[in-house]
Amino acid sequence: MLKALFNLFFPEVCLACIQPLLDNELTICTNCRHHLPVTNFHYNKTINLVHKALYGRAEIVNATSLFYFEKKSIVQQLIHQLKYKNQPEISNFLGNWLGSELSNCKAYEAIDVVIPVPLHYKKLKKRGYNQVEGFGKSIANHLKCNYLENVLVKTINTSSQVKKTRLERWQLKEELFTTQNLDLIKGKHILLVDDIITTGSTLENCITELNKAQNIKISIAVMAIA
């Protein structure tokens, strides 16, 4: 009764279209969910733009993205809400969506550990959370494997890359990341997770650092690919 009264004055809204959610809807309304541009890369190995983005630059086993990203789209709205409007539940929602699908894909059965692309500690303090934390933890839960956020460390606090051109992102060649606790991933198959892949430079730098560990394999999972 109290919940119904509360929702009457403060209705929960879809974080994509900002319209009120129905009683059986969570985070994203049914209509928006049906219009989200899913890639199904984890089901279709012949067309995989994540693999293509990293081809010849980093050795990976499997790669997937939940959505395609386009400007002024539902996906952009979700990512904006997640990163800048204090809506971390979106990360959990997307992780449960993709994690449920990956748990039924033989290619991802061998994943031992999920590792997120980290935020610099200053940005983490300002935002209050890493936007891919819920995504990674939810996927790890579905794959029944560990989630480790104490291996990759971001060493340089870069400005937002949202307004950078592809050329500017390519030119970002500084050593942005370092690693610690490498014994935790020795001999493991790692699933590296992030929010958006554009040029692939961020993931490439992370993979270079992770490869300092012995005898590892790396796969990729992101929320969206631009």
pLDDT surpasses 80 at 136: yes
Residue 177 burial (CB count, 10 A): 20
Most distant CA pair in the chain, distance: 59
pLDDT score of 10: 59
**Residue closest to 147 by CA, chosen among 127, 167, 132:** 132
- For the chain, the structural domain boundaries read 1-35, 37-225
Average pLDDT over residues 167-189: 80
Task: Note the pLDDT of residue 1.
Answer: 47
Q: What size, in residues, is the chain?
A: 226
Helix (H) or strand (E) holding 190: strand 189-197
Candidates 124, 225, 208, 220; CA nearest to 174 is 208
Q: What is the reported pLDDT for 203?
A: 96
pLDDT band at 226 (very low <50, low <70, confident <90, very high): very high
More confident residue, 113 or 9: 113
Q: Which two tokens stand for residue 18?
A: 């900002």
CA-based nearest residue to 130, from 110, 114, 109, 106: 114
Q: What is the pLDDT of residues 42-95, one digit of tens each?
A: 998 788 999 999 999 999 999 999 999 999 999 999 999 999 999 999 999 999
pTM of the model: 0.89
Q: What is the pLDDT of residue 6?
A: 42
pLDDT above 50 for 20: yes
The per-residue pLDDT for 46 is 81
Q: Whole-angstrom Cα distance, residue 99 to residue 66?
A: 10
Q: What mean pLDDT comes out for the span 118-147?
A: 96
The average confidence (pLDDT) of the chain is 90
Q: How confident is the model at residue 23 (pLDDT cuts 50, 70, 90)?
A: confident
Beta carbons within 8 Å of 184's beta carbon, 6+ residues apart: 113, 148, 150, 151
What's the mean pLDDT in 143-157? 95
Phi, psi of 28 (to 5 degrees): -130, 135
Long-range CB pairs of 155-159, under 8 A, 24+ apart, other chains included = 155/120, 156/120, 157/120, 157/122, 157/123, 158/120
Contacts of 119 (CB under 8 A, 6+ apart): 127, 130, 131, 154
Evaluate if residue 109 carries a pLDDT over 60.
yes
37-225 folds as: Rossmann fold (3.40.50)
